[in-house]
Structure 1
Amino acid sequence: MPEYILIDGSQGEGGGQILRTSLALAALLRQPVQLENIRANRRQPGLKTQHLAGVLALARITDAEVKGAYKHSTRLAFAPRAIRGGRYRFEISTAGAASMLFGAVLPALLFAPQASEVTITGGTHVAFSPPFHYLEKVFLPTLKRMGCAVDLELVRWGFYPKGGGEIRAHVKPCRDLQGIRLKQRGALKSLQLSACSTPHLPEHIVQREIAQVEKSLIAYSEILKSETLLCRAYSPGNFVFLQAEYEHAAAGFSGLGKRGKPAEDVAEEACRSFREFEETAATLDSHLADQIILYTALARGNSFFITEEATSHLMTNIDIIRKFITVGIDINSSTGLVTVQGTDLNAEAAT
């Protein structure tokens, strides 16, 4: 067995992304890893419920030997064996982000020798995490362009505080992960607004949100389409999603309602993020750049894209990737152009 790689969880942004990227790479490379100071830069350091669920999920997928896997733990040793696809169900007992757990296990499942079906319960539309709609409309279509086949289904919505949402993914092994080349996003072709609310809340909320978006983005009225969705969940919830389709790229912007937050503010949150993206030459929004960088490092061939901002999440992610593999990644700070020399990890190598 190779020696453990030591990862300091307090470096860079010091959050859960360090844990997820470290365990994903450990699983793919069968490389034991030891993490210390997990989530040291957060108000409540250590493993929260959703992080622990991710650790245990990857341990199950890789038959890993694990030490320190308990709530609030700040140290973890993880020694994976072979990746096994199949049918899995992972439950987060709180409104912890199902999307984060999905992001943690997806790299391993893409490089499994057989197809997988994975069901995850928890929060599907919660703060500080990509909502289901972003995964479905932006992240996974980008992965598809790189050669990955993943279908994602929203079985039940999950809002804070009860959670209880459910997503289900069907993942096929990716035999040829290819680099992505996006130097121009092209013209904006369409804007799709989805305004969603649970039956617990007054109907006028989504109508006010649609009106606010139409007012705020009046310059785009010819291509802006709106829809209302009734979402059933255990907790009251409200959510808006603005999907921007360009000739060569896609981007998504959201607003999440909460008690005391006016509907107009929820809608404007998404509009403001879209306008800021439009003012740049970016081909990927900053969230997608952070999510996709691992896949470009593993892909065959070079990748390049322009991000609207080189966030601390992105830079920390790159630092963690370099702890595991030798990969050329360059970021032009003036233009936001990110260039990655892929290392060509194929499915056979991972198993």
Structure 2
Amino acid sequence: MVKTLRIDGSRGEGGGQILRTSLALAALLRQPVEIYNIRANRRKPGLRPQHLVAVQALTAITGGELRDAHENSTRLYFAPQTIKGGNYRFKIRTAGSTGLVLAAVLLPLLFASTPSEVNITGGTHVPFSPPFHYLESVFLPALKKMEGHVELSLLRWGWYPKGCGEITAKIDPCACLHPVELRRRGRLLGLHLTVGLTELPMHIAERAATHVAERLSGEDCKVETRIVTAQSTGPGVIVFLYAIFERTIAGFSALGRRGKPVEQVADEVCQDWFDFKSSPATVDSHLADQLIPYMALAKGNSCIITEKFTSHLETNIRVVEQFLPVHFHLDSNTGEVSVQGIGHGQQITLIAT
């Protein structure tokens, strides 16, 4: 019998990431886990609707045993069985992030024996989570380089607080993840701006696009801009910029809200781009965070460089260390994070500038 692994959900940033990464790796490794102090560092501790949906989704795709999982619960037990590909539908009844639920099920479904199609309803462009366009344009291309093939579609936009957005992911099985080696980002090939809005006047999007164009007028290449209008259950606006380099892609986004000038939203995105550009980073901090479990599972040497070492990133590292025979080491002087794989001898290097 496999011994149950106990995970303290209050460690590090103490949020939902510990839950998602723990359950995803547990499902992949068929490792029973007990998670306690779930989201202990949040204003409302315990499982919120989107976290509960992620837990239930992983139980469904593994045919596992689940105990004590209910809304506001701060403890649960999960004993997964065999991962099964297939067609799945999961609905978050709030504006909880569809992208974060996808993050929980994607890793195990990549290693299913058959393809999968996952439909998720909830928030597609909401605070504190990667928006659909970031996943589509930044994360999935990076995963594809590691031989993880996923096709993502946006069926309906969903903003906070109503949600009701909808995405579908088609996931092909992956026999083995390849390492990622990104020590240099190479020459800048293009800057692409998307301004998306629903139930708002077109001039708001046009002002955002104009402001970004003015702020980035001195760049080496012209900003390719598109304005997207869509139907949704409520108003919303997003400014999303992604940069394509010879070796990598980085993305930056900000959401509008009532009383916040859209020029300020655009400024936030531009500043994130300037900060990234002025560093030697090869991936933005959000992508670094997302790639940690995949890098730890890849066979071979990996290296990425990110512009900052966030609490989310460190928390994800510590969770992965509890499940896999890898050890991460942070050099506080150089900002370099190295990972030695005990299991298959890989060495992973992550540098936070």
Coarse TM-score class (shorter-chain normalised): over 0.9
State whether structure 2 residue 214 is matched by structure 1 residue 215: yes
Match of 2:23 in 1: 23
Alignment-mate amino acid for residue 6 of structure 1: R
Alignment-mate amino acid for residue 219 of structure 2: Y
Match of 2:127 in 1: 127
Q: CA deviation at 1:221?
A: 6.8
Match of 2:311 in 1: 312
Decide which moves more: 212-221 or 202-211: 212-221
Q: CA deviation at 1:319?
A: 0.8
State whether structure 2 residue 216 is matched by structure 1 residue 229: no
Q: SS at 2:47's partner residue?
A: coil
State whether structure 2 residue 187 is matched by structure 1 residue 187: yes
2:93 & 2:128 partners in 1: Cα distance? 18
State whether structure 2 residue 95 is matched by structure 1 residue 95: yes
Trace 1:264-279 onto structure 2 (pairs within 5 A).
264-279=263-278
Q: 2:191, 2:221 within 8 Å by CA — same for their partners in 1?
A: no
2:130 & 2:101 partners in 1: Cα distance? 11
Match of 1:348 in 2: none
1:118 & 1:238 partners in 2: Cα distance? 26
Q: SS at 1:211's partner residue?
A: helix
Q: SS at 1:45's partner residue?
A: coil
Q: 1:76 to 1:284 in 2, by over 3 A?
A: same
Q: CA deviation at 1:269?
A: 1.3
Q: SS at 2:95's partner residue?
A: coil
Which segments of 5 or more consecutive residues in structure 2 lack a partner in the other structure? 346-353
Match of 1:238 in 2: 237
Q: CA deviation at 1:339?
A: 3.7
Give the structure-1-normalised TM-score. 0.95
Q: SS at 2:225's partner residue?
A: strand
RMSD: 1.4
Q: SS at 1:219's partner residue?
A: coil
2:344 & 2:284 partners in 1: Cα distance? 25
Match of 2:350 in 1: none
- Percent identity reads 54
Q: SS at 2:7's partner residue?
A: strand
Q: CA deviation at 1:32?
A: 0.4
Q: CA deviation at 1:104?
A: 0.4
Match of 1:69 in 2: 69
Q: CA deviation at 1:336?
A: 4.2
Which segments of 5 or more consecutive residues in structure 1 lack a partner in the other structure? 346-351
2:332 & 2:107 partners in 1: Cα distance? 28
2:242 & 2:236 partners in 1: Cα distance? 20
Trace 1:284-323 onto structure 2 (pairs within 5 A).
284-323=283-322
2:190 & 2:38 partners in 1: Cα distance? 41
Q: CA deviation at 1:8?
A: 0.5
Q: 1:176, 1:300 within 8 Å by CA — same for their partners in 2?
A: yes
Q: 1:308, 1:336 within 8 Å by CA — same for their partners in 2?
A: no
Q: CA deviation at 1:329?
A: 2.7
Q: 1:94 to 1:106 in 2, by over 3 A?
A: same
Alignment-mate amino acid for residue 322 of structure 1: E
1:239 & 1:304 partners in 2: Cα distance? 31
Alignment-mate amino acid for residue 203 of structure 1: M
Decide which moves more: 302-311 or 289-298: 302-311
Alignment deviations for residues 72-95 of structure 1 (CA, whole Å, 9 cap, x no partner): 000010010110010000000110
Q: SS at 2:72's partner residue?
A: coil
Alignment-mate amino acid for residue 296 of structure 1: M
Alignment-mate amino acid for residue 279 of structure 1: S
Q: CA deviation at 1:335?
A: 4.7
Alignment deviations for residues 124-157 of structure 1 (CA, whole Å, 9 cap, x no partner): 0000000000100000000000011110011111
Q: 1:302, 1:340 within 8 Å by CA — same for their partners in 2?
A: no
Alignment deviations for residues 284-309 of structure 1 (CA, whole Å, 9 cap, x no partner): 11110000000000111111111111
Give the structure-2-normalised TM-score. 0.95
Trace 1:104-183 onto structure 2 (pairs within 5 A).
104-183=104-183
Q: SS at 1:182's partner residue?
A: coil
Aligned residues: 344
Trace 1:46-65 onto structure 2 (pairs within 5 A).
46-65=46-65
2:33 & 2:100 partners in 1: Cα distance? 20
2:159 & 2:36 partners in 1: Cα distance? 31
Alignment deviations for residues 195-214 of structure 1 (CA, whole Å, 9 cap, x no partner): 1111x211110011011101
| Higher RCO (Cα < 8 Å, 6 or more apart) | 1
Q: CA deviation at 1:341?
A: 4.3
